Structure 1
Amino acid sequence: MSDLDRVLAAVDADLDASLERLFAFLRIPSISTDSAYASECRRAGQWLVDDLAGLGFTAKLNDTPGHPIVTGRSETGASRRVMFYGHYDVQPVDPLDLWQSAPFEPCIVENEEGVKRIVARGSADDKGQVMTFVEACRAFVKVTGKLPIDVTVMVEGEEESGSANIGPFIDAHKDELKADLALVCDTGMWDPQTPAIILSLRGLMHDEIVVRCADRDLHSGYYGGAAANPLHVLAKILAEVHGTDGAITIPGFYDGVIEPPDYMKASWADLDLTPENFLGPVGLAQPIGEQDRSLVEMISSRPTFEVNGMWGGYIGEGSKTVIPAIATAKISCRLVANQDPVHVRDAVRAFVRSRIPADCSVEFLGGEGSPAVAVAHDNPDLGKAAEALAAEWGRPPVTIGEGGSIPVVGAFKKALGQDTLLVGFSLDDDRIHSPNEKYDLTSFHKGIRSWVRILAALAG
């Protein structure tokens, strides 16, 4: 048997022990957004430090103004180094009464089709995914005595609460974190049988729009029909953002947007993503994006403008017949490669200002943003990872952009100058951030095997 075959066999033989380690990690309620769990976040970080140290990593729990960051570094003398990123913090468990089992008491349940699932908060996001990589490293060390490529591990504890300290940490530890390539396992499969490599992540710009009209709430019987209503003003402006064809009408919004290669569009056409199988499960039927674009393009390679919330006036029980003085909306824009978040923010604000009545005013609170990130289609490491995944899953991975945003990936490129391969094994039905979060046992087992193959491939 080759070394690769022996390592894969070790993964299979050690699966029960791997699950025991994952369960121990999952039992720690590392909820980063709630200060009451600060000690548990630290405990989770220390648990991972101890586990990495047991594999020969020089591992450390690094304090920050928030929750600590775990780092680990192997030194094998290999010619290449990769950096693996993940997070050990988890979302709150509310509403607790909707859980069918205790959220921090992991268990394996079997559904009607006989599929075994690991159920616990953090099982898919992101402790289960982190441990697929750690267990792959463990198997190499157990069988060959060392890793095939040098590895730096960085696992943060604030991803679910804004990652406020990861950027400054990266800037302060550039030499320690520098690698040839970053690896992120916080994404998912295309479907339960088909792996995926995420080539791009959309960026993000979010803002808050506050429209003021009268100097106080007004009696709607006395002033109705004459006084400007800020809710009407704001609703009209937001309604004008999209044209009847679904395109965004804001001048300059699409500046920098590039077209995906024709071969990639052709591959997307074979994915059978339809309104029925994508929107149907959430109770919808008709895509409302740019009507000259495919559904895959709408959710992965095109920018968006969404209203996340809107409020003003009286929203309590019963009625209160007023014309409110103030109306507010929170908006977010998902951005694609080469769009500048500042340019988009300025374009959105100019669009809104141009439509505010002369005797009303507008204020903006926010405007933060992060650019999209993309991996070059001809990156040789992309091809190596694709071949490794195809060998494990028996079919080539889907290479596609993802509609979500992982801002730290942009930091890797900007601060460290390194590209990122995003390979994950979660599924659409894993109930991430919801009660009864789960991670299929197959995702965990074959995820470990997949990282074994990828590490071997990247090492050459």
Structure 2
Amino acid sequence: MAPLAPAALAAAAEDPLLRDVTELVRIPSVSALPEHAKDVRAAAEWFVARLKRTPGGVFASARVEETGGHPVVLAEASEASVAHLDAASVATVTIYGHVDVQPVDPLELWDSPPFELTAGEMGGEAVYFGRGSTDDKGNLLAALAGVEDLLAETDGRLPVRLKFFVEGQEEIGSPQLSAFIASKKEVLATDYVFSADGTQPGLGKAGVVLGLRGAMAMQIDVQGPERDLHSGFWGGAV
């Protein structure tokens, strides 16, 4: 990991999106470890506060919702931001993402502290390393930044009715999410979902994924000898 030049670091420090990512990455919201449950909640609460800072109070409705496990963040755009639209025909779009992350073990394989966003260089491009920086904290904040840029260009008016749905248990298979969604059908009703949880084809090359395959779980059982066998004598047979 090569360090960035001082000028590049100074420019990055002035980037409000990068400051947000730095703050959110700093929260060790590992959903798989019970000792980090409070951190998953802290990350959800941080994102609620960030949504509420959107200019014009567009996402003043942002709140933490309980699921029986790690929480969910919900937000709906203000009526003022969509008042110019035809209520009978306007589409609803939900931006989905998650604030939980994978465990960081083994720590000795990291070149930088996992919960500190660290600047570096890869292929001549400025890059940043940190757990959750691309899965999914950075992506989620980039989506919010895009919405805020749009609001700035349109004087606070949205082209669609917009919602945010941000969970804290994606990395463990979202065990409480099905029941939560079933209990909130009216609140969560939407025409389209944009997932901020994904990748792009390459640095400087954006992409939009049009579908996901879902998840599959399986178990592979392998039978072998009850004791160690010398590979030179037994390797082929084993």
TM-score (norm 1): 0.42
Aligned-partner residue type, residue 37 of structure 1: H
What are the superposed Cα offsets for residues 125-153 of structure 1, whole Å, 9 maximum, x if unpaired?
Answer: 11111011111122234452343322110
What whole-Å deviation, never above 9, does each CA across 1:41-88 have from its counterpart, x for those lacking one?
000000001111122211110111110001111022342220011110
Say if 1:315 and 1:88 are closer, same or farther in 2 by CA, change over 3 A. farther
Residues 194 and 105 of structure 1: CA distance in aligned 2, closer, same or farther (over 3 Å) = closer
Q: Deviations 1:295-329 (Å, cap 9, x if unpaired)?
A: xxxxxxxxxxxxxx33345567x35xxxxxxxxxx
Tell me the residue number matched to 1:140.
150
CA distance in 2, matches of 1:102, 1:315: 42
Deviation at 1:163, TM superposition (A): 0.5
- Name which of 64, 76, 84 aligns with 2:67: 64
Alignment of 1:311 onto 2:230 = no
Amino acid at match of 1:185: A
AA at the equivalent of 2:221: M
* Alignment partner, residue 127 of structure 1: 137
The 3-state SS of whatever aligns with 1:311 is coil
**1:105, CA displacement in angstroms?**
0.8
Structure having the higher Rg: 1
Structure 2 match to 1:187? 198
Shift of residue 192 of structure 1?
Answer: 3.4
Q: Which residue number in structure 2 is paired with residue 51 of structure 1? A: 50
Q: State the shift of 1:199 in Å.
A: 3.0
| Equivalences for residues 22-421 of structure 1 within 5 A | 22-55=21-54, 56=57, 57=59, 58-75=61-78, 76-77=81-82, 78=85, 79-111=90-122, 113-143=123-153, 144-208=155-219, 309-312=220-223, 318=228
Structure 1 pair 141–193 and aligned structure 2 pair: CA distance change class (3 A): closer
Alpha-carbon distance, 1:179 to partner: 1.6
Correspondence 1:420-431 to 2 at 5 A: none
Q: Say if 2:12 and 2:18, in contact at 8 Å, map to a contact too.
A: no
CA displacement, residues 211-267 of structure 1 (integer Å, 9 cap, x when unaligned): xxxxxxxxxxxxxxxxxxxxxxxxxxxxxxxxxxxxxxxxxxxxxxxxxxxxxxxxx
- When the two chains are superposed, the root-mean-square deviation of aligned CA atoms in Å is 2.5
* Partner SS, residue 109 of structure 1: strand
Q: Cα distance 1:202–1:169, how it changes in 2: closer, same or farther (>3 A)?
A: same
Q: Report the secondary structure of 1:64's partner residue.
A: coil
Residue type at the aligned position of 2:41: R
> What is the match of residue 274 of structure 1?
none
Partner of 2:7: none
Alpha-carbon contact 1:140-1:148 (below 8 Å) kept:
no
* CA contact 2:31–2:172 (8 Å) conserved in 1: yes
Relative distance call for 1:205 and 1:116 in structure 2 (3 A) is: closer
Aligned length: 207
**TM superposition outliers: structure 1 runs of 4+ over 6 Å:** 12-15
Unaligned runs of 5+ in 1: 1-11, 209-308, 320-460
Higher strand share: 1
Q: Secondary structure at the match of 2:62?
A: strand
Which amino acid in 2 is paired with 1:139? D
* Deviation at residue 176 of structure 1 after TM alignment: 1.0
- 1:54 to 1:193, Cα distance in 2 relative to 1, 3 A: closer
Cα distance in 2 between the residues matched to 1:146 and 1:103: 38
Structure 2 residue ranges without an equivalent (≥5): 1-10, 230-238
CA offset at residue 122 of structure 1?
0.3
TM-score of the superposed pair, with normalisation by structure 2: 0.78
